[in-house]
């Protein structure tokens, strides 16, 4: 990754931190969906102020791309036009040579609802819902305190918690990211 751009959230009395994260991230998600190519999404996201101990994302979002042209194509300023009073967007900059390492941000999906898991199993295995539900009779739900952003599925028009996990790594890995800018295998510069 050779280029990055920072977005800093500026919550105020009239708009809260979590509400602002939801609105900003929804627009970033739409921008990434709009700009994906045949190989996926070349733009990745980090949260420079992420704090695992305090379960916080912080106020900053950093977009990374293989080159300046890829970030220019995303045109994040255009996507965040309605929120200009509540965000500060830097210009596109080259990634510095001195890094503290590499980091991976991924979606965390705790298994907390056995009914949802049973519906999914029934569909995948071609069995009835009751039979799939019986497979989960000893199910123990997983819970997490990981930071999250409220997101909205445009296909199902449902809100959900997008839990985010962070992992430090020495491997750079792939440069393809999902529609939320997250990855299971790649890593991005941390500075």
Top pLDDT among 39 and 129 is at 129
The residues pairing with 154 across neighbouring beta strands, listed in sequence order, are none
Top pLDDT among 20 and 139 is at 20
Top pLDDT among 8 and 143 is at 8
In the β-sheet with 101-108, what is the strand arrangement from edge to edge?
Answer: 148-153, 158-169, 101-108, 188-190
E strand or H helix that includes residue 70: helix 68-74
pLDDT band at 169 (very low <50, low <70, confident <90, very high): confident
Top pLDDT among 54 and 89 is at 89
Return the pLDDT at 144: 82
What percent of the chain clears pLDDT 90, i.e. is strictly above it?
A: 61
What percent of the chain clears pLDDT 70, i.e. is strictly above it?
A: 99
First to last CA, the chain: 13
Return the pLDDT at 62: 98
Yes or no: domain 3-110+145-190 corresponds to CATH 3.30.70.2540:
yes
Helix (DSSP H) and strand (DSSP E) numbers for the chain: 5, 9
Q: Are 7 and 61 in contact (CB under 8 A)?
A: yes
Buried b (16+ CB within 10 A) or exposed e, 131-165: ebbeeeeeeeeeeeebbbbebeeeeeeeeeebbbb
- Helix, strand, coil fractions of the chain, as percent rounded to 5: 25, 30, 45
Return the CA Rg of the chain: 18
Buried b (16+ CB within 10 A) or exposed e, 35-60: beeeeebbbbbbbbebeeeeeebbbe
pLDDT band at 79 (very low <50, low <70, confident <90, very high): very high
List the chain domain ranges.
3-110+145-190
| Mean pLDDT, range 142-152, rounded to an integer | 87
Reported as half-sphere exposure (CB side, CA atoms, 13 A), residue 109 has a value of 7
Rounded to the nearest integer, the mean pLDDT of the chain is 90
- The yes-or-no verdict on residue 44 having pLDDT over 90 is yes
- The yes-or-no verdict on residue 113 having pLDDT over 90 is no
């Amino acid at each position: 990754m050779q280029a990055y751009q920072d977005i800093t959230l500026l919550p105020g009395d009239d708009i809260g931190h979590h509400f602002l994260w939801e609105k900003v991230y929804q627009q970033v998600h739409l921008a990434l969906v709009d700009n994906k190519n045949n190989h996926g999404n070349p733009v990745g996201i980090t949260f420079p102020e992420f704090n695992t101990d305090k379960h916080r994302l912080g106020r900053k979002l950093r977009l990374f791309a293989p080159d300046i042209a890829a970030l220019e194509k995303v045109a994040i300023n255009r996507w965040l036009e309605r929120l200009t009073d509540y965000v500060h967007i830097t210009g596109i900059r080259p990634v510095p040579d001195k890094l503290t390492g590499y980091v991976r941000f991924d979606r965390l999906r705790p298994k907390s609802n056995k009914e949802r898991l049973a519906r999914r199993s029934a569909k995948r295995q071609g069995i009835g819902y009751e039979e799939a539900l019986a497979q989960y009779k000893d199910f123990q739900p997983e819970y997490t305190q990981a930071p999250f952003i409220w997101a909205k599925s445009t296909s199902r028009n449902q809100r959900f918690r997008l839990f985010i996990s962070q992992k430090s790594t020495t491997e750079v890995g792939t440069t393809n990211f999902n529609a939320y800018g997250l990855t299971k295998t790649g890593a991005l510069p941390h500075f």
